[in-house]
């Protein structure tokens, strides 16, 4: 099936936060207006924070429908990051106000759902609906980590967004893990010792 001939409405789905040591994994689902006039959509990682926030505002105001789904730190530790990511994607789609006729997902795996769908590697760079979902998920998760930075000072969450930067790793050794750290991820698991089991 050619992407241009997919039955409408088409939802794009992407996630952010598989690699960090802390915080939720966040997914977004976006259905754009037909012939959407949102210019500059791209993979969120290739955009500056200022550009992402500008596009976030356009998407949330102009998209036909959009929704956020999350999987918690606890769910990541219980299920593993892949299953938690697919769960967050499913929750994002479930949150849409309409049932999409087709779903395009960034990556190479699909959640276990009954929707007609396709996984597209690099879709966040080439499919507008997925690019929009990438931006929504990224801005949402970044804001959540900035909020965690105020609750758990010293780890640099506002800057590193939970990723294992040198600053973050040094803080982990100095301060120890918090409730929002993923206990199944190294080096958090090692620092917790037997308590992580």
For the chain, domain boundaries:
8-191
Q: Are 19 and 26 in contact (CB under 8 A)?
A: no
Q: Side-chain half-sphere of 191: how many Cα atoms within 13 Å?
A: 18
Counting beta carbons within 10 angstroms of the beta carbon of residue 62, is it exposed (0 to 12), middle (13 to 18) or buried (19 or more)? middle
Triad 70, 124, 161: Cα angle to 5° = 50
Average pLDDT over the chain, rounded to an integer = 94
Residue 34: what pLDDT? 84
Q: H/E element holding 189?
A: helix 188-192
- Mean predicted confidence (pLDDT) in 2-10: 81
Q: Give percent of the chain with pLDDT exceeding 70.
A: 97
Q: How far is 14 from 91, CA to CA, in rounded Å? A: 12
Residue 4: what pLDDT? 73
Asked if residue 61 has pLDDT above 80, the reply is yes
Residue 194: what pLDDT? 63
User: What is the tens place of the pLDDT at every residue in 25-45?
Assistant: 999 999 999 877 789 988 898
Binned at pLDDT 50, 70 and 90, residue 195 comes out as: low
CATH number of 8-191: 3.30.420.10
Asked if residue 102 has pLDDT above 60, the reply is yes
User: What is the tens place of the pLDDT at every residue in 47-60?
Assistant: 999 999 999 999 99
Q: How far is 36 from 137, CA to CA, in rounded Å? A: 19
Residue 3: what pLDDT? 72
User: What is the tens place of the pLDDT at every residue in 157-187?
Assistant: 999 999 999 999 999 999 999 999 999 999 9
Provide DSSP, 107-171.
Answer: SS---S--S-EEEETTHHHH-HHHHHHHHHHHHHHHHHHHHHHHHSTTS-HHHHTT---HHHHHH
DSSP 3-state helix, strand, coil percentages of the chain (rounded to 5)?
45, 15, 35
User: What are the Cα distances from residue 188, in Å, to 50, 79, 181?
Assistant: 32, 17, 7
């Amino acid at each position: 099936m050619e992407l241009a001939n997919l039955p409408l409405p088409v939802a794009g789905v992407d996630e952010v936060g598989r690699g960090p040591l802390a915080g939720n994994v966040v997914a977004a689902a976006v259905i754009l207006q037909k012939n959407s006039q949102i210019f500059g959509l791209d993979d969120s990682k290739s955009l500056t924070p200022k550009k992402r926030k500008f596009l976030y505002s356009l998407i949330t105001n102009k998209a036909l429908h959009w929704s956020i789904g999350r999987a918690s730190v606890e769910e990541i530790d219980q299920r593993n990051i892949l299953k938690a990511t697919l769960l967050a994607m499913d929750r994002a789609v479930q949150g849409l106000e309409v049932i999409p006729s087709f779903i395009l997902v960034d990556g190479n795996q699909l959640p276990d759902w009954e929707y007609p769908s396709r996984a597209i590697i690099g879709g966040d760079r080439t499919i507008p609906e997925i690019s929009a979902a990438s931006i929504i998920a990224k801005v949402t998760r970044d804001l959540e980590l900035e909020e965690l930075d105020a609750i758990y000072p010293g780890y640099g969450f506002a800057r590193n967004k939970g990723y294992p930067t040198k600053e973050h790793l040094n803080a982990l050794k100095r301060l120890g893990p918090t409730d929002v750290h993923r206990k199944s991820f190294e080096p958090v698991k090692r620092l917790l010792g037997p308590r992580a089991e």
